[in-house]
Amino acid sequence: MTSDSGRAHHQLWGGRFTGALSDAAAELNRSLPVDRRLWRQDVRVAQAWVSALAVAGIIAPAEERTLADGLRRVAERLADGADAHAPDEDVHTLVERLLYEEVGEIAGKLNTGRSRNDQVATDLRLWCLEAAASVRQEVTALATVLAERASAGIDVLLPGYTHGQRAQPVRWAYVLLAHAWPLIRDLQRLNEVSDRTGELPLGAGAVAGSFVPIDRERLCEILGFRRIAANSLDVTGDRDFVADLVHALAMVSVHLSRLCGEFAVYTSSEYGFVRLDDAYSTGSSLLPQKRNPDIFELARAKSARVVAALSGLLNLLRGLPAGYSKDLQEDKAFLFDAVDTLLLTLPAVRGAIETLQPVPDRMRAALNSSLLATDLADGLAGEGVPFREAHAVVGRLVRHAEAQGIELRTITEADAAALHPSLPRLIAAVGTFEDSVERRRTTGGASREAVARQLREVRSSLAKPGGTRP
Amino acid sequence: MTSDSGRAHHQLWGGRFTGALSDAAAELNRSLPVDRRLWRQDVRVAQAWVSALAVAGIIAPAEERTLADGLRRVAERLADGADAHAPDEDVHTLVERLLYEEVGEIAGKLNTGRSRNDQVATDLRLWCLEAAASVRQEVTALATVLAERASAGIDVLLPGYTHGQRAQPVRWAYVLLAHAWPLIRDLQRLNEVSDRTGELPLGAGAVAGSFVPIDRERLCEILGFRRIAANSLDVTGDRDFVADLVHALAMVSVHLSRLCGEFAVYTSSEYGFVRLDDAYSTGSSLLPQKRNPDIFELARAKSARVVAALSGLLNLLRGLPAGYSKDLQEDKAFLFDAVDTLLLTLPAVRGAIETLQPVPDRMRAALNSSLLATDLADGLAGEGVPFREAHAVVGRLVRHAEAQGIELRTITEADAAALHPSLPRLIAAVGTFEDSVERRRTTGGASREAVARQLREVRSSLAKPGGTRP
Amino acid sequence: MTSDSGRAHHQLWGGRFTGALSDAAAELNRSLPVDRRLWRQDVRVAQAWVSALAVAGIIAPAEERTLADGLRRVAERLADGADAHAPDEDVHTLVERLLYEEVGEIAGKLNTGRSRNDQVATDLRLWCLEAAASVRQEVTALATVLAERASAGIDVLLPGYTHGQRAQPVRWAYVLLAHAWPLIRDLQRLNEVSDRTGELPLGAGAVAGSFVPIDRERLCEILGFRRIAANSLDVTGDRDFVADLVHALAMVSVHLSRLCGEFAVYTSSEYGFVRLDDAYSTGSSLLPQKRNPDIFELARAKSARVVAALSGLLNLLRGLPAGYSKDLQEDKAFLFDAVDTLLLTLPAVRGAIETLQPVPDRMRAALNSSLLATDLADGLAGEGVPFREAHAVVGRLVRHAEAQGIELRTITEADAAALHPSLPRLIAAVGTFEDSVERRRTTGGASREAVARQLREVRSSLAKPGGTRP
Amino acid sequence: MTSDSGRAHHQLWGGRFTGALSDAAAELNRSLPVDRRLWRQDVRVAQAWVSALAVAGIIAPAEERTLADGLRRVAERLADGADAHAPDEDVHTLVERLLYEEVGEIAGKLNTGRSRNDQVATDLRLWCLEAAASVRQEVTALATVLAERASAGIDVLLPGYTHGQRAQPVRWAYVLLAHAWPLIRDLQRLNEVSDRTGELPLGAGAVAGSFVPIDRERLCEILGFRRIAANSLDVTGDRDFVADLVHALAMVSVHLSRLCGEFAVYTSSEYGFVRLDDAYSTGSSLLPQKRNPDIFELARAKSARVVAALSGLLNLLRGLPAGYSKDLQEDKAFLFDAVDTLLLTLPAVRGAIETLQPVPDRMRAALNSSLLATDLADGLAGEGVPFREAHAVVGRLVRHAEAQGIELRTITEADAAALHPSLPRLIAAVGTFEDSVERRRTTGGASREAVARQLREVRSSLAKPGGTRP
C-alpha cells in the first residue's frame, strides 16, 4: 500500500513521505512491545466502530459482516499469540494489518472517521476500568483476611506503639483492623476513579470530532461507558483518568508498605510477635539459620515504584498542550507497571497475613507496667487534678522507677505518696492490662466491645460496592 | 510547671526527663513556624473538647465557662498576632500556654483524655476542608472565565494542533473549553476528597481511644464532620486525606501548566494568536522591547512544585507503622506549600485569561489549505474508497504540492486527477475552513452547534456543587 | 539437594524450612526476569572467586580447573539463551544450577565464603561501569554531531529567545553549541560516577566479611576495580553508585528533553526553522498532511521516566538500615529502565539532529528590528546615559513603534528625537543584525570569533576522557 | 523613573508598558520573599561588575568610586535588615533601588551590559558554593563523631542484621563505621559538584553575551570562579549545578535516614541497644512514660523532603529551551529548602549520636547461638564439604534445634552426628561470639584488626579535602 513511500511495513500513514523511517527512529517510535496488551480492547472498540459505521450508512451491511467476521478472526489469532513477534508500530497497526490479511482491501474502511488519538484513548479507558476492577477484588480479599484474623485476635493483648515506642496496651484485632481501614478507603477511591474513567472518547477523531455522523450515545452503551466526552480536543489529550488510577494504586501500595513494614518488625527476634509460615519465608544463601520476611520487604519496596510511576506520569503531562502529543505514549509504561506491581504484590501479602502465626506470649511479654502510666494520670485527672499536672506527676514517678531500675507497680508507697497523695491508691487500683484496655470504650477505642463493633462495620463496608461507610 | 525537669519553656511533657532538650534538637523538633497556621482550628477543636468534657461530667459547669472564656480570649490574642514570635514547640503548646496565662492552673484540665495525636489530626482535617473549599472557589472562577471567553470566541477559527503541528481548523471557543473541562474534573475530585476528609479523629487519644466517655457523635456535629473515625490507631497515623488533597491539587496544577504552556506559545511572535494585557505582562531588565509571559511560565513551573509535594508526601508515608510517628509532622510543609502555591497561581492565571486579547487575524492566517487534507480523504472515503487508501492518496497530493511549493488548492486538475479521478472535484468542493469545521457535527465536535451545546454543559456543570455531569 | 525441604527447584537455601514457598510468594520473590541480564557479570565474578579460592587453598588445583571449565560452559549455554525460560529464583541460582548440571556436586564449592549479598553488589557495579561507558559513548556521539552541525551554521542568524520570546540575534551555531555543553557536563558526571563505582564488594560476605582468607587486592585487579570497599556491612547495603548513575542519566535525559523540546518548536509551521528528514518524521493515521516530530516528543517524554526512576530509587533507599534488605532487589528495575531508555533515545536523537535541514530564510525572517532595541540602549549607555534610563527611553520607543504599527527603524526622526536627542543618530547607525551579533565579542558571546573559539573548545573537550575543560 | 508607565515601584523594566501590573500578577511574579537571601552575593557581584566596567572604560574612576561606596552602604543597610519588608520585585531590583537611594541617577549605570539572567546565575552559583561548604563541614563533623564513638566501641559485640533479622555477630564500631562511609562519599560528591559550579556566568548578558568588552578572566579571579562559562545562551539557562548540589544533598539526607531509621529501632524497648540522652529525647503530651526518638524520626522524614526537592527541580527543567525562561525562578525554593533542611538536621543528629549511650548488655543478650550457624557451615566447608551441602546440613540442624526449642549449641551429639559426622566436633569447637567475629579477618571484615585499620582509614579520609580515598 505504501510501496511508493519507501516505507516497508504496513503503516497507517506515509503517503506524504519519500524516505523510510530510520532504524533508530523506528525503534524509539515503536510502542508495540508495551501497548500490545491493549489488543483485546482495540478489537472490541473496532467492532463497535464497525457497527456504528454501518448504522451511519458509511459501510454497507455486507461490508459490516465482512469486517465483523474479520475482526473476530483477528481476535482469535491474537488470542493464539499473533502479537508475539509482530513487527508493527503499535497495537492499532497490528490489528489493522491482521484485518487486511483476513479481509483484504476492505479493511481500509475500518478507520473511516477515526484516528489513533480517539482509538487509544478509548482502548486505554477500557483497560483501566478492568484493571481497577481487578485491583478492587484483590484489595477486598486482603481486607477480608485482615478482618478474619482480627476476629480471632480480639483477646490477644500487645503494646500499641507510637514513635516506634510502647505506648498503651491494645488488642491484636485492633492492630489488624487499623490496617484494614486504609484498604476500605482504597476501595472508595478506586470506585470514584472508575466513575470518572467512564467517558467515551470514540468519535472524537484526531482533534476536532468526526465527519461521520456517528451515534455516540449508542457507542457509549455498546462499550459500557457512562457518558460521552464533552470536548474532543480535551479527551484526546486527557490522561487524568490514568493519573487518578495510578494515584489510587499508589495509595494502595503505601498502605501495603505500612502494613508490611510494621509486620516485618514484628517478625524480628527482638519483637517476635508473629511468625511467618514457611510458605511465605525465605532463607539466605550464606547464613543457614536465616528466616527472612522477603515478602514484607518487597511489598514495602514496591511502593517506591508505584509512587515513582505516579510522579513520572504527572510530570509527563506537565506543560503539554491540549490535544494529542506523542509524549502521551509514555503513559502506558507507568500505568502497566503500577497495575502489574500491585497484582503481583497483593496476593503474596494476603497469603502471608492469612498464614502467619501470632505469638500471644511474646506480645503479652512486651507489656510492662509503664504502659499503665497514662491510666495513673487519667486517674489523677478523674480526681480533679488538672491533667497537665497529673501528667507531670506521673512523669516523675516513671523517672523515679527508672532511676531505681524497678517496675512502676513495685515502687514503694511512701515514694509514690511523696509525689502525690492519691498515687499509692491509684497504683493499687490500676488493675490489669485488660482493665486498661477496657477503659477505652469510646467508639473507635480498643475495648472489646468497641473492637467487635468495628469489626462488624469493616465487614459491612467490604460487602458494599465502593466500600462506602454509612 | 516543669521546673524540676530543667526544661525551660511551657511544655506538654517532660516530667520524666532530667536534662533540657539541646538547642539543636529543639530547633529540629519545633514545628511552630509551620503549624502555627492551624491556630484557628486548634482553638475551635479545644472549644468543642471543653464542651464535651463538661457533658461527660469531667469538668464542672463553672470550669467549662472559665475555659471557654479563656479560649475566646486566646483566640483574640492569636488573631492579634500572639503567634508571631512565640517560643513554643508547636501550635498546641502555644494555645495551652496562652490559656494558662488567661485562666491559670485550670488550663491543665483542657487536655484531659486528649492527645496531640488526635488533636493535630482533627485540626488538620478541618484545615484541609477549608483549603479544598478555597481552591474549589478559585477553580470555578477560572473555569467560568474560560467559558465566558469561549462564548465570545465561537466565530473565530484557528488551527487545532496535535504533536505541536497544525492538524485541522477548529474554533477558538473549542480550544478554551478544552481547558475548562479538566477544571471541572478537578471540582469533582476536590469534592470527593472533602467527603473522605470528614471523619472525626477527636476522641481517639494517643493510640487506643480515650478513657473519657466522650460523646463523639455530638463532637462530630459541633465540628461539622460527617462521621466518626472507626479505628483510633488508624486515624492518628492516617494522612490519606492529605495525600488525596495534594493529589487533587497536583491535578489542578498540571491542568494550569497545560493551559499556560499552550498559551505561552500563542503569545510568541511566531504564533501571535493572543496578546497579554499590560497588567499581566512583564519586561526584561536588559532588553527594552521584551514582553514576557511570566505569569504563564510561572504557572507552568509551579506545577513541578505541587507534583513534588505529592511525591514527597507519599514517600514520607511509605513504610510507617500504623499510629503516630513523628515523621508525620513533615506532612504540613508539603500540604501548606501546595495549597499556597495554587491560591497564588489561580487568580493570576484567571486575570491573564480574562484580559488577554485574541488576535483573530493571526489565527486565521495560520490556516492553510493543507489543513483540509483530511476533508479530502474523508470525501474520498465518502465515495467508497477505503479510508486507508484515501489517506495514502491525499498524502501523495500533499507531497506533490510541497515539492512544487504550492498550496493544496492550487494544484493543477491534471496532477490531482493523476492521483485519483475524484480529487479535482473534491478539491473544488472542499469549501472554506468554516465549512470544514461545520462538518464535525457529532457531540463534542468543533461545529458551531456542538460547541454551543458544550458551552451550555460547562455552565451547568459549574453551577452544580461537585461539578457533576449528568 | 533440598528434597527434604519440600522446596522444588534448585535453591541456594532451604535446609531449615519444611514447607514449600507458595506460588504467590515465589512469584513476588523471583527476580530472574529482571536480573538475568546480569549473567555475564555473575559468571565473570564467579570465575574470579574460583581463582581466589584456589589461591587461598580452599579448593584444590584440579577443583579449580573443573569449576573454571564448568563456568566457561555455563557462559556458553547462557550466551545461547539458557536463561530464556529458566525457572530459577534469580541469576545467581541460575548460574549455580547450570554449574551443577555441568560439574556435579563440586559446584557446591563455588560459593564458599561468598554470599548473594556481596555477589550481587559486585555484579551490579560491573554492570554499571559498562552501562556508564555505553552511555558516555552515545553522549559523545551526539555532542559531536551538534558540533559538526554548528561548524556549518556559523553564518546563519536567527533570534535568540528568552521566555519563549525573541530577544537578540544570535548564530545558529551558537544555539547548537548551547545544547552541546550540557552533554559535556554529562560526560564529566559519568566519569566521576564510574570512579566511585569502582570499589570492590566481593569478599564482604553476607554482612561481616568472609571467613576465607581471600586476597581482595588480587580480586580487585582481576575484576578491574580501583579499590576494596572499606566496610562489608556498608558495601552490601550500599546502592549509592546506582543512585549516582541514575542521577547522571536523569541529567542526560533532561538535556535531551531541553534540546528536543526546543527543536520540536522549531519544526512547527509557525517557526519553520528546521525541517526533519523523512527518516526521522512520522505521520498521522487520520490527517494525511501531518509531519510529526515524534522523535523529539518522545525524547522529551522519556526524561519524565528517567527522573521518576531516580526519585523512586532514592525513596527506595530511604530509611533502610545498613546491610542488605530485600528492598534493594528493586533497584534493578529502576536502573535497567533508565539505561535502556537512554540507549534507545540517544541514537534516535542523534540521527534526527544529524539529518535535519535548517531553513536559514525562515530564521532570518524571524529577525525584526525590535531585536535591535538592546543595541540602541547600549548605544545610549555608551554615550554616558545611565543604562537604566537608556532602557526606559528605548522602551518608550518600542511602545511608540508598536502603537503606530511600524518597525523600530522606520520611526520618524522627530519622534525619536523627542524621546532622546541621540536616538535618531543611533538608529541610523545601528546597522545589520550581523553587526549586532558581532558586538557580543566577549568570551562566550555570539560573535563569529567567539563562536569559532567555542567550537574548538567543544571539540577539544570531547576528545578528552571525562570531557574535562582546562 | 517609570512614572509614565503607570507602574508604581522601582522596576528594572517597564518603559514599553502603559498599564500597571495587576496585584495578582505582581504577587505571583514577585520573588523577593525567596531570593532576598541572595543579597550578599548580589552586592558582591555588583561590586565586581563596577570594577570591571571601570577597567573597560565604561565608567569613569570617579563614578566607580561613587558606585563602590554606594554599594558598600547598600550592603550595610541590608545587613541591618533593609530587605525585611521591602516591596521590590526581586533581590536585584532591591539592590538597585537602594543604590539609587544612596547615589542617585548614577545608579542607573550599574547594570550597563548586564542582565538579570547572568546576574542571578552568578549570584546563585556563589550561594551554592558557600552552601556546599557549609554542608561539607557539617557532614565532616557527623562522620567524625561516628568515628569517635566507633573507636570506643571496638570491644562491644552485637548482631549484624540483614533483612532486619539477626545474621552474624559484629562489633558496635563496625556498625557505626558502616554509617560513616556513606558520609565520606557525600564529601566526595559535594567536592565534585563545587568544581563544576565554579564556572562564571557574569558577562553573558541576557542571551548573546555583553556588548561591553569586559575582561571576564579578571572577573573570574575576583569572584573566585575557576573558569568562564563557554556559551552565554547555555549558562543563562543552565541549572545543572543546582540539580547536582540538590542530588548531593538528597544523598546526604538518604544516608541520615538510614542511620536514623536504624538507630530509632535500636532505641525501642524490644532492642534497647542504645539510650538517647535526655537532651535528644522527647515526651508525649498524653503518655507520661514515653521517651521518643523524635530526632531520628524527623531526620528520616526530612529525607522525603530533600528527595522531593530533587525530583521537583529536575522536572522543572525538563523540556525548557536553552536560555532563560521564567520557570527557572522556581529553582530557588527547592534549593533553599534542601539546604536549610540539612543544616537543621545534621547538627541535631550529630548531637544525638554524640550523646547516646550504647547498652552493651542488651547488645550481647541479642546474640544467640543460631548466629554461629554460618561458622558451622564454614567449618564443614573447611573440611571439604561443598558449601552448598554444608549450608543445607546446618539448615537442618537449625530446624531441628528450633523444633525442640533449644539452642544450637545444646543439641545432642547424636542428633548432630546424624546430620553430619563432623558436626559434633565443629559445634564443640565453634567458640565464642568473639571467636566468630575474629574469623572475619579480610580487609573490610568485622575482626578487631580489620576494624582498627578501617577506623584509621576513615580518619585519614576525613582529614583530606574531598574525602578522597587512596
Q: Which tens digit of pLDDT belongs to each residue from A376-388?
A: 999 999 999 999 9
pLDDT of residue A413: 93
Q: Is C222 in a helix, a strand, or coil? A: helix
Q: Which three cell numbers stand for residue D137?
A: 563541614
Q: What are phi and psi of A157, to 5 degrees?
A: -105, 150
Total residues belonging to chain B: 470
* Mean pLDDT value across residues C400-424: 92
Q: What are phi and psi of B34, to 5 degrees?
A: -95, -50
Kindly provide the residue ranges of all beta strands, DSSP E only, lying in C238-303, ordered along the sequence.
274-275
Distance (Å, rounded) from C-alpha A240 to C-alpha B179?
Answer: 13
Q: Which of C21, C276, C341 to mutate to test the interface with A (most CBs of A within 10 A)?
A: C21
pLDDT tens digits along D5-35: 334 468 888 888 888 899 999 999 999 999 9
* Mean pLDDT value across residues A266-288: 94
CB contact under 8 A, D279 and B27: no
* Of residues C264, C289, C398, nearest to B398 (C-beta): C289
Q: Which residue of B has its CA nearest to D325?
A: B297
* Of residues A279, A315, A325, nearest to C20 (C-beta): A279
Write down which chains contact chain B via at least 3 CB pairs under 8 A.
A, C, D
CB contact under 8 A, B304 and D281: no
CB contact under 8 A, C395 and B311: no
Q: What is the pTM for the complete model shown?
A: 0.97
Decide which of C468 and B123 is more confident. B123
The string of DSSP letters for D49-84 reads HHHHHHHTTSS-HHHHHHHHHHHHHHHHHHHTTTTT
Distance from the D183 Cα atom to the nearest Cα atom in chain B, whole angstroms: 20
B contacts of D301 (beta carbons < 8 Å)? 316, 326-330
* Mean pLDDT value across residues C441-455: 96
Q: Is C113 in a helix, a strand, or coil? A: coil
Burial class (CB in 10 A: 0-12, 13-18, 19+), C421: exposed
Distance (Å, rounded) from C-alpha B374 to C-alpha B162?
Answer: 14
* Of residues D114, D117, D330, nearest to B305 (C-beta): D330
* Mean pLDDT value across residues C81-93: 93
Q: Which three cell numbers stand for residue C421?
A: 536627542
* First vs last C-alpha separation in chain D: 61
pLDDT of residue B9: 61
- Contact in structure between D301 and C140 (CB atoms under 8 Å): no
CB contact under 8 A, A297 and C18: no
| Residue A337 pLDDT exceeds 50 | yes
CB contact under 8 A, B444 and A393: no
How many beta carbons lie within 10 A of that of residue B232, not counting itself? Answer: 35
| Residue C424 pLDDT exceeds 50 | yes
Triad D104, D110, D113: Cα angle to 5°: 145
Helix axes C331-355, C116-151, angle to 10 degrees: 10
Q: Which residue of B has its CA nearest to C402?
A: B289
D contacts of C111 (beta carbons < 8 Å)? 387-388
Distance from the C243 Cα atom to the nearest Cα atom in chain D, whole angstroms: 8
Cα separation values, A191 from A186, A345, D211, Å: 8, 20, 62
C contacts of A304 (beta carbons < 8 Å)? 312-313, 315-316, 330
- Active-site positions of A read 163, 284
Give percent above pLDDT 70 in chain C: 98
Write down which chains contact chain D via at least 3 CB pairs under 8 A.
A, B, C
Question: What integer best gives the mean pLDDT of chain B?
Answer: 94
Q: Which residue of D has its CA nearest to C188?
A: D196
A–C CB contacts, 8 A cutoff, strictly below: 235
| Residue D2 pLDDT exceeds 70 | no
pLDDT of residue D470: 64
Question: Given the C-alpha cell 546526604, which residue does it identify?
Answer: D252
| Residue A7 pLDDT exceeds 50 | no
A contacts of B402 (beta carbons < 8 Å)? 16
Question: Nearest to residue B281, comparing CAs of A353, C55, C399?
Answer: C399
Distance from the C287 Cα atom to the nearest Cα atom in chain D, whole angstroms: 26
* Of residues B166, B267, B373, nearest to C269 (C-beta): B166
CB contact under 8 A, C162 and B265: no
Low-confidence ranges of chain B (pLDDT < 50): 1-8
Distance from the C444 Cα atom to the nearest Cα atom in chain D, whole angstroms: 4
How many beta carbons lie within 10 A of that of residue A269, not counting itself? Answer: 18
CB contact under 8 A, A271 and D270: yes
D contacts of C444 (beta carbons < 8 Å)? 203-204, 209, 216, 228-232, 235
C1 — pLDDT class (breaks 50, 70, 90): very low
Active-site residue, selected from the candidate residues B3, B163, B269, B285: B163
Write down which chains contact chain C via at least 3 CB pairs under 8 A.
A, B, D
**Which residue blocks in A152-231 are alpha helix, DSSP H?**
172-197, 216-223
- Does the active-site annotation cover B163? yes
A289 — pLDDT class (breaks 50, 70, 90): confident
| Residue C343 pLDDT exceeds 90 | yes
CB contact under 8 A, B24 and D350: yes
D contacts of C17 (beta carbons < 8 Å)? 395, 399
CB contact under 8 A, D1 and C388: yes
| Residue C7 pLDDT exceeds 80 | no
D contacts of A167 (beta carbons < 8 Å)? 284, 287, 290
A116 — pLDDT class (breaks 50, 70, 90): very high
- Does the active-site annotation cover C284? yes
| Residue D179 pLDDT exceeds 70 | yes
A contacts of C20 (beta carbons < 8 Å)? 278-279
* Of residues A13, A294, A297, nearest to C284 (C-beta): A13
Decide which of D10 and D218 is more confident. D218
C contacts of A114 (beta carbons < 8 Å)? 286
pLDDT tens digits along D72-84: 999 999 999 998 8
Distance (Å, rounded) from C-alpha A182 to C-alpha A257?
Answer: 12
Q: What is the DSSP letter of D206?
A: T
Q: What are phi and psi of D275, to 5 degrees?
A: -125, 125
C–D CB contacts, 8 A cutoff, strictly below: 423
- Dihedral sign, Cα of residue C161, residue C189, residue C126, residue D378: negative
